[in-house]
Amino acid sequence: MSHDFHPTVLREYDIRGIIGETLGPDDARAIGRGFGTLLARDLGDGAVPLVAVGYDGRVSSPILESALIEGLTASGCNVRRIGMGATPMLYYAEASAEEVDGGIQITGSHNPANYNGFKMVFRGRPFFGADIQRLGEIGAAGEWIDGAGSVETIEIEDEYVARMLAALDSIEPSALEGLTVAWDAGNGAAGPVLEKLAARLPGTHHLLFTEVDGNFPNHHPDPTVEANLADLKALVAEKSCDFGIAFDGDGDRIGAIDGEGRVIWGDQLLMIYAEDLLGKLPNSTIIADVKASRALFDHVEQHGGKPLMWKTGHSLIKSKMKEVSSPLAGEMSGHVFFADEYHGFDDALYAGVRLIAASARLGKSVTQLRGEMPAMLNTPEMRFQVDESRKFAAIEEVKARMTGDNVPEGVEVNATDGVRVNTPDGWWLLRASNTQDVLVARAESESEAGLERLMAQIDEQLALSGLERGESVGH
């Protein structure tokens, strides 16, 4: 027996495909067998791995869960089912129990309803890149271990909610009096646990779309697209809320708006979290991806921290956090990672509670914190189609042109992930997506004229490589 995956399914950070076209139960079974085999080999000495399994609210998720568990048990793993819930609840089930060796969440994240996929944790570390490719190699060769594992089902929601509430333990109750928060679960998997959390939080909480519906009837569950925050903005205005929080489809990415309806982007949220954390842990290393605003890196320095710019991708950021013992990291995409008094994974529900805590500890409303941020002019993340065979080569060409003797005076180039170029006008970025055949561009300046000059530099570099920006494509 062997199994071949569709070539588009095994990706850099996770496994993802279109149900009935590129992904189905046979793939899920093979993923279970491959993951179980790798885990058993890694543990050695005849150990029986224990794997936690969860799934999101998509229509296809229960079928994939059943097949995945078949594959895991057929490779000798015992399985702990936590049922339907947010991805961070699965991460919590893996991180909080010493006896659990790995975890798999079935989720299509923020993708359209006909997509689904898998996010994995392997002995406490992210499972990505070469790990995922190894599943394909083992499947093609049929090199699976045989066994007969057992399955148990547990309830973890209440324990998970209690753990999140612990983030408010050090806050004086009087500091939270009169708090009013709006929440939008987007019909995603975080809805039911959000209801439990909100019922136990201090203050008044107004909830939208907590009913899980894998067809996402109200709006697409991607809080990094401002159009998807329209319902939340309306609720904040109607109920005079202090701020609003939105989640993606599986609850690991956060979006936010302040009391005036202004979006608080991922790097701006990180500014608030960093200021709060550095009050307790001065001199800490705070990590953000290459798409983040210069204002964030400056803010971390101003508050006594060490900013570190790193590669985009939740698995890459988590790995870097462990390497440099960073207590806090985040991405423009809304993944925020707390490792100061939490487990270091991306959890939008916990991030929402930490926003309440940060505001109370800093003694400022979220609206005030957002209002004090420097007014930078920046483009949204622009993504445009480039042939898979060209995208990395084009970035290397830009890098070659922008380094060595070619760099103009006053210009600095950071090649951590693609090419980020700092100029007197601000900065611009070009990088190749690890998950799609697209190039990603972004620019930031303090003036309209500066932003125009930066965009002209991006266009010039693309033209020199025989490319043009063209129309931006979606995720």
CA atoms within 13 A on the CB side of 28: 26
DSSP at 23:
B
Q: Which of 109, 79, 77, 82 is nearest to 93 (CA)?
A: 82
For strand 180-184 and strand 102-106, is the pairing parallel, antiparallel, or unpaired? Answer: unpaired
Q: Cα separation of 101 and 125, whole Å?
A: 10
Q: Cα separation of 105 and 87, whole Å?
A: 6
User: Exposure of 339 by Cβ count < 10 A (0-12 exposed, 13-18 middle, 19+ buried)?
Assistant: middle
Q: Cα separation of 148 and 313, whole Å?
A: 35
Q: Residue 394 is encoded by which pair of tokens?
A: 């084009």
DSSP at 425:
T
* 428 strand-pairing partners: 421, 443
109 an active-site residue? yes
The end-to-end CA distance of the chain, in Å, is 35
| 57, 213 Cβ separation under 8 angstroms | yes
Q: Residue 10 is encoded by which pair of tokens?
A: 């095994």
Q: Cα separation of 442 and 291, whole Å?
A: 7
- Give φ, ψ of 111 to 5 degrees: -75, 165
* 336 strand-pairing partners: 330
Catalytic residue among 60, 75, 109, 284: 109
Q: Cα separation of 63 and 51, whole Å?
A: 18
DSSP readout, 289-347? ETTS-HHHHHHHHHTT-EEEEE-SSHHHHHHHHHHHT-SEEE-TTS-EEE-SSS-SSB-
Q: Cα separation of 89 and 452, whole Å?
A: 44
Catalytic residue numbers?
109
